[in-house]
Amino acid sequence: MESLLIGSFHRPSIPVPAEFSPLKTSSHAIVRVLKCKAWKRPKKHYSSSMKLQRQYITQEHVGGSDLSTIAADKKLKRRFLVHASSEHPLESQPSKSPWDSVNDAVDAFYRFSRPHTIIGTALSIISVSLLAVEKFSDFSPLFFTGVLEAIVAALFMNIYIVGLNQLSDIEIDKVNKPYLPLASGEYSVQTGVIVVSSFAILSFWLGWIVGSWPLFWALFISFVLGTAYSINLPLLRWKRFAVVAAMCIFAVRAVIVQIAFYLHIQTYVYRRTAVLSRPLIFATAFMSFFSVVIALFKDIPDIVGDKIFGIQSFTVRLGQERVFWICIGLLEMAYLVAIVVGAASSNTWSKYFTILGHSALALLLWTRAKSVDFSSKAAITSFYMFIWKLFYAEYLLIPLVR
């Protein structure tokens, strides 16, 4: 009997530098099982799933805050333990029920769609749409229909953008995010192409039949920037360049989402004159800070893969801890500006909600930031998801700014 290391993730296609070796990190847990004779078979029968099992399962991935990561790891580890305790060939798995197959498909698509971005997109559209509401009678069926059309079209485009990014980063994701369906082998490249193409077409189709030009241009500009950000073609793949990558995210999250979807409600739904109101200007300015922070912070947990594949992010250039505190500083500045805006409001209830809400979020951010362990990828990833929760919370406060 000999020892065999198995796990849930693909190895990167090129060697990982020694300083990033999982064997050097005490937090990594390695699953060891005995290699039974029944597992022996000719090499030609080794499938991609067999390769999937000859990897490390790290505590960092299992202990992270991303629920999709945890679910994927637990599912794969359960499968390995069942096979290790039987004398059947590893690939001779019990047939799945239709419900299990549907559940697996939904789980894979859930991870593929990057749900934290889905939630952020939906909340942002609802929030800025509410800024166009001037009186209670504005809450009409036409308003809710307009908001729903915008959300569905934007979510289709969101799935296209995050899916294209995964198609372009399969090898990098095998190091940084091995739980994603393309990196883990659950989705083939062909499946990924079909999914992203379908959602791009659906998004444009819906934007066209709705007939709202602000909505259609929001989708089109997002499509162009999202494609240029990810796709590996000459003069494109802008994510390789830190400043350009940050500007892409800034343009979509801070400008297009705020202004275009506000104008969709203001001009298309309500048929009013396009006016950039004070709350809209505040929302655009505040989310400019937040978008830059997200653009910078998203690379902090991914420094290993980015270094290996030559992605010159700010984190690779400046280091994790330095970029981390730059992000914290930018967000605290944004909260301070929001408090000042609230104090200058002539609306009493708006003043109290704006000041107290942003003060509480600023204090929570600072308290949480001081406890982050920079030696743990799980801790950094958890804090990145916390940044997204602050992003959601801000969109709950924005409609209260008057």
Per-residue pLDDT of the chain (402 residues; tens, 9 = 90+): 433 333 333 444 444 444 444 434 444 433 333 333 333 444 443 344 444 344 433 434 333 444 444 444 544 444 434 444 444 444 455 677 888 889 999 999 999 999 999 999 999 999 999 999 988 999 999 999 999 999 999 999 999 999 999 999 999 999 889 999 999 999 999 999 999 999 999 999 999 999 999 999 999 999 999 999 999 888 899 888 878 888 888 888 888 889 999 999 999 999 999 888 888 999 999 998 888 898 889 888 888 888 888 777 888 888 889 999 999 999 999 999 999 999 998 888 989 999 999 999 999 999 999 999 988 989 999 999 999 999 999 999 999 888
The CA dihedral of 99, 181, 58, 74, to the nearest 10 degrees, is -10
For residue 3, the SS3 value is strand
Give me the helix-helix angle, 98-112 and 67-84, nearest 10°.
Answer: 140
Nearest CA to 394 out of 345, 347, 331 is that of 331
Q: How many CA atoms lie within 13 A of 310 on its CB side?
A: 3
| Token code pair at residue 261 | 């979807």
- Given the structure tokens 């899916």, which residue do they identify? 163
Q: What is the pLDDT of residue 93?
A: 56
Prediction pTM value: 0.70
Which residues does 145 contact at the CB level (< 8 Å), separation at least 6? Answer: none
Note the helical H segments in 300-347: 303-308, 314-318, 320-343
Burial of 39 (0-12, 13-18, 19+ CB in 10 A): middle
Q: What is the pLDDT of residue 170?
A: 94
For residue 180, the SS3 value is coil
